[in-house]
Structure 1
Amino acid sequence: MNLSTKAKLKRDHILKAAIEFILEKDFNDLTLEAVAKQAGISKGGLLYHFPNKEALLAGLTQQIFEEFINLFKEKANQDPIEKGKWSRALVELSKWDLEHNSKLNIGVLSQSLLDHDTSKAIDTTYQYVQDKIEEDVINPVTATIIRLAIDGLYYSELLNVAPIEKELREKVLNELLNMTK
């Protein structure tokens, strides 16, 4: 294993530990010391990969959005029905993510704390989703309504603003899937 591969593995380990910390504790309690402890490494080891909290937040955001985009592409490419496949991929992936700790919310929170230039560079990944659903074979307005409804589900949960019960969320997501056909 070469040094760059080893460094990438260590970096990924630190980011995974940061996500675990946020899910177990609270986003506001995130410190470099806490992440180092969660990862089982020294603070100096963490600082080698992430020299400050902003670098850690940028790494978190980038990793979460890249993973989301890769899974989004994979889901769409596995769909044998061309019409609505990008919108379906978004709904299905969001459904899975919402049921499994909503990592995308961690990415959104991290991004909101970054400076404008860093945030803008990461924002382009989410624009990819919007572009793909607008190119979907369904009405682009319908596709955008689907995306905005999913955004609403995430933000409702993230901000704890009238979050909906799991059963109702399931019905909403199923209706959004129906809109892709």
Structure 2
Amino acid sequence: MTSAHHRKKQPELVRGQLLKVAARLMIEKGLPSVTLDAVSQSAGVSKGGLLHHFPNKVSLLDGLFESLVDNLDEAIEARMLIDPQPRGRFTRAYLAVCFVPGGMPEGEAWKSLTIALMGEPYLRERWRQWVAGRAAEHVGTDSSVNAELVRFAADGLWLAEAVESHAIEPDRQRELMDRLVELSML
């Protein structure tokens, strides 16, 4: 007799573990390594258990995208709540969350998402929709050329961090951040 039926099921923990493993595999071995078999085996979850949460690879990548973007939205909203200046508020929050000295929260998972965005057209489209939705939502306060330029700079800094292409010293990071914050208010 097995003890499987006696264990308390924790579907959210299992789902989270599967997403973490998928992100780790993507970082370590690239997008092609993220197969349902590899994820279930690395997570110590039966393939049936994985299929319960994610019926295919697309839904697994989608789940990773959703999880990260939900957390990004929450972090941006939290930063916006403490910024008293309306003009450029969303842009400064986006900058603060995406360009964090030493790496953004969930940095490794974001690296994996960046890899997936480059290789999966439907994820690029979802990201485009997220960007367009936030731009439309904050058109009254963040539609200036300066605000857009700051968000493009944040994206470039995020990509540089993700692919580890530039080593930016902490003092220089602070200078860049200060200049971009100033620009967001113009």
TM-score, shorter chain, exceeding 0.5 = yes
2:128 partner letter? D
Unaligned runs of 5+ in 2: 1-8
Q: Does 1:123 align with 2:132?
A: no
TM-score (norm 2): 0.74
Task: Tell me the CA shift for residue 56 of structure 1.
Answer: 1.1
Aligned-residue Cα RMSD (Å) equals 2.9
- Match in the other structure for 1:78: 82
Q: SS at the partner of 2:70?
A: helix
The AA in structure 2 aligned to 1:111 is L
Q: Does 1:26 align with 2:32?
A: no
Deviation at 1:90, TM superposition (A): 0.8
Superposed CA deviations along residues 146-172 of structure 1, whole A, max 9, x for unmatched, are 011111112334455x42424334432
1:98-137 residue pairs with structure 2 within 5 A? 99-100=103-104, 101=107, 103-116=109-122, 119-132=124-137, 134-136=139-141
Tell me if the contact between 1:61 and 1:108 (Cα under 8 Å) persists in the aligned partners.
no
C-alpha spacing 1:30/1:39, structure 2 compared with 1 (3 Å):
same
Question: CA separation of 1:129/1:170 partners in 2, compared to 1, >3 Å: closer, same or farther?
Answer: farther
Kept in 2: contact 1:133–1:140 (CA 8 A): no
Q: Deviations over 1:74-132 (max 9, x none)?
A: 2112323323221110111012386142543433332343354x653453222233335
Which residue of 2 is the match for residue 163 of structure 1?
166
1:60 and 2:47 aligned:
no
Distance 1:165 1:121 in 2: 30
Runs of 5+ consecutive residues of structure 1 not aligned to the other structure: none
Displacement of 1:67:
1.6
Counterpart CA distance in 1 for 2:114 and 2:75 is 17
Residue of structure 2 in register with 1:180 after alignment: 184
Residues 58, 113 of structure 1: alpha-carbon distance in 2 compared, 3 angstrom cutoff: farther
Tell me if structure 2 keeps the 8 A contact 1:105–1:154: no
CA contact (8 A) 2:99 2:158 kept: no
Q: So what's the TM-score if we normalise by structure 1?
A: 0.76
Give, in whole Å, the separation in 2 of the partners of 1:76 and 1:30: 35
> Are residue 144 (structure 1) and residue 148 (structure 2) matched?
yes
**Distance across 2 between alignment mates of 1:20 and 1:78:** 33
Q: Which has the larger radius of gyration?
A: 2
Q: List, as ranges, runs of 4+ consecutive aligned residues in structure 1 with deviation greater than 6 Å.
A: none
Q: Distance in 2 between matches of 1:122 and 1:154?
A: 14
Q: Deviation at 1:134?
A: 3.9
Q: Which letter maps to 1:110?
A: A
Q: Is the 8 A contact 1:54 1:114 kept in 2?
A: no
